[in-house]
Amino acid sequence: MKDTFLIFFLCISALFLEAQEVKPISKSDVLAKVKEHNTSIKISKEEFNAAKADYNQTNAVFLPNITASHTGVSTTNPLMAFGSKLNQEVLTSNDFNPALLNDPSVTRNFATKLEVQQPLINLDGFYQRKAAKSKMNAMSLKTERTQDYLLFEVDKAYMQLQLAYKAVDVLEKALEAANANKKMADNSYKEGFLQRADVLNVEIRVTEVKNQLQTAKSNVQNASNYLSFLMNDKSDFIYKPTESLTGFSIDTSDKNISENRSDIKAMHLASKAYEDMNKADKMAFLPRLNAFGSYEMYDNKVFSGDANGYIIGAQLSWDLFQGSKRFGKAQKSKAEFEKSKLEYNQYVSKSNLELNKVKRQLIDAKNRLELTSLAVQQSEESLRIRKNRFKEGLEKTSDLLMAETQFSQKQLEYYQTIFEYNFTQTYLEFLTKQ
């Protein structure tokens, strides 16, 4: 019953895969679509736009603050009533009557006011602006590194798709060989040269290869889905690479971690931003110089202004003491700056550690590639010899099956090693990219 269900499931899965459209795709097409449509890149660009907006806000250090207002009041307050008439330029000698001064009638006043405040010297604001600019540039570099990483992911995902198709090819050939062996075993059993147990062993091998082939086809679909995710493509294609999985070599002699790598430069700029924020907190202890001016119009009717006047002046302000708030803020920004320097040094050291590790992995992968290539040749020759001996009745069924299994395993190991070798080189280029 379980075998029947398994066969039914495999058939349904195969029909489902065949129903999906197989679409050839090149790596250059994937790269172009990822650059244009990938969500992570778009998110990174919006983070840069947010940092740019923060920097634009610091223009307030240089540009004036202009406000306009229109205020209407109705009052019997003696001081307010007298001042309103004075601003409206409607005072008469009768208004100096003590009785009217002490108990004025209802007075209405409408004031239209245009105010301008111009910063002149704001040292902490200057350093805050520098910090915002460093942050904006750091976010620009982060966007660049995000794109580099996504392109690296494309290389990896495309190679995984190539590897998945190689596995399918190997297992399809292994299934053909297993079916041929089953046919030969059935004939030998009918002729009395094999026992039933030998035939069952061959059938088990056929089932194993079918299961492995189904897994390989699922890996093709998984790799295709991941490529669709990277390209932000909602279609459910089964992609087929136009380029086959082959090994390539790069010169690794001059590969080193560069401080010009975008993520390392971004961390350096982030540290610079913390340094400027610490300077800004220190400059907050110094006085500020601002100019101000206003033009005012008054009347007892709304949106009118028969009387007017202006004020122009400058203010030197100095917050001498705000409890211990500014001292604590300066200490915090100093600690954050020191922390950022340590994190930068640690990040560079960790990158160099990773680089050395990858270089060793590349040497190991190259050695494995040579050994697995030799193993494929040896296992193929061993299978050929055993198959000929089996046809002549000189070889056990178990030995033939073992030789077939070994040959397919060595082929899969060989292609897996090519993938690891290529991937390690790609990762090395990603680590050392400037």
- What are the tens digits of pLDDT across the range 383-402? 888 888 877 777 777 777 88
Task: Tell me the pLDDT tens digit for each residue of 221-277.
Answer: 999 999 999 999 988 889 999 998 888 887 777 788 988 999 999 999 999 999 999
Evaluated on CA atoms 269, 275, 278, 284, the torsion sign reads: negative
For residue 345, the tally of other CB atoms under 10 A from its CB is: 12
Mean of all residue pLDDT scores within the chain: 88
Domain with CATH 2.20.200 in the chain: 65-121+288-318
Residue 34 has pLDDT above 50, yes or no: yes
Of 354, 377, 370, 378, the C-alpha closest to 418 is 370
> Average pLDDT of 56-73?
92
Of 275, 168, 280, the C-alpha closest to 219 is 168
Q: Please report the pLDDT score of residue 6 as a whole number.
A: 45
Q: Return the exposure string of 405-418: e unless at least 16 CB atoms fall within 10 Å of the residue's CB, then b.
A: bbbbbbbbbbbbbb
Burial status of residue 90 (CB atoms within 10 A of its CB: 0-12, 13-18, 19 or more): middle
CATH code assigned to 65-121+288-318:
2.20.200
Helices (H), 191-322: 196-231, 262-283
Amino acid letter, 59: N
> Average pLDDT of 201-227?
91
Q: Quick one: angle between helices 27-37 and 39-57, nearest 10?
A: 40
Q: What is the pTM of this model?
A: 0.82
Task: Tell me the pLDDT tens digit for each residue of 79-137.
Answer: 998 888 888 888 888 888 888 888 888 989 999 999 999 999 898 899 999 999 999 99
Distance CA 341, CA 78 (A): 63
Distance CA 50, CA 183 (A): 68
Angle at CA of residue 274, ends 269 and 279, nearest 5° = 120
**Which residues does 331 contact at the CB level (< 8 Å), separation at least 6?**
none
Q: Please report the pLDDT score of residue 19 as a whole number.
A: 54
CATH code assigned to 2-37+122-284+325-432:
1.20.1600.10
Distance CA 237, CA 292 (A): 66
Among left, alpha and beta (phi > 0; psi -120 to 50; other), residue 261 is beta
Which tokens belong to 167?
A: 């596995």
Q: Percent of the chain, pLDDT > 90?
A: 56
**Sole residue written with tokens 């007892």:** 300
Which tokens belong to 267?
A: 């961390």
Question: 3-state class of 1 per DSSP?
Answer: coil
Q: Please report the pLDDT score of residue 327 as a whole number.
A: 87
Q: Point out the least confidently predicted range of 177-181, 193-197, 232-236, 353-357.
A: 193-197
Split at pLDDT 50, 70, 90, the class of 154 is: very high
Distance CA 368, CA 418 (A): 9
**Sole residue written with tokens 């292994």:** 174
**Which residues does 397 contact at the CB level (< 8 Å), separation at least 6?**
185, 194, 198, 201, 202, 390
Q: Please report the pLDDT score of residue 1 as a whole number.
A: 45
Bigger pLDDT: 108 vs 18: 108
DSSP-assigned letter for residue 103 = S
Q: Point out the least confidently predicted range of 6-20, 141-155, 253-267, 308-322.
A: 6-20
Which tokens belong to 228?
A: 């669709």
Domain with CATH 1.20.1600.10 in the chain: 2-37+122-284+325-432
Contact in structure between 34 and 229 (CB atoms under 8 Å): no
DSSP secondary structure letters along 116-148: EEEEEE-HHHHHHHHHHHHHHHHHHHHHHHHHH
Q: Quick one: angle between helices 196-231 and 27-37, nearest 10?
A: 40
Q: Please report the pLDDT score of residue 311 as a whole number.
A: 93
Q: Please report the pLDDT score of residue 278 as a whole number.
A: 93
Q: Could you tell me the CA-to-CA distances from 353 to 348, 350, 360 in Å, in that order?
A: 9, 5, 11
Split at pLDDT 50, 70, 90, the class of 429 is: very high
Contact in structure between 329 and 356 (CB atoms under 8 Å): no
Residue 423 has pLDDT above 90, yes or no: yes
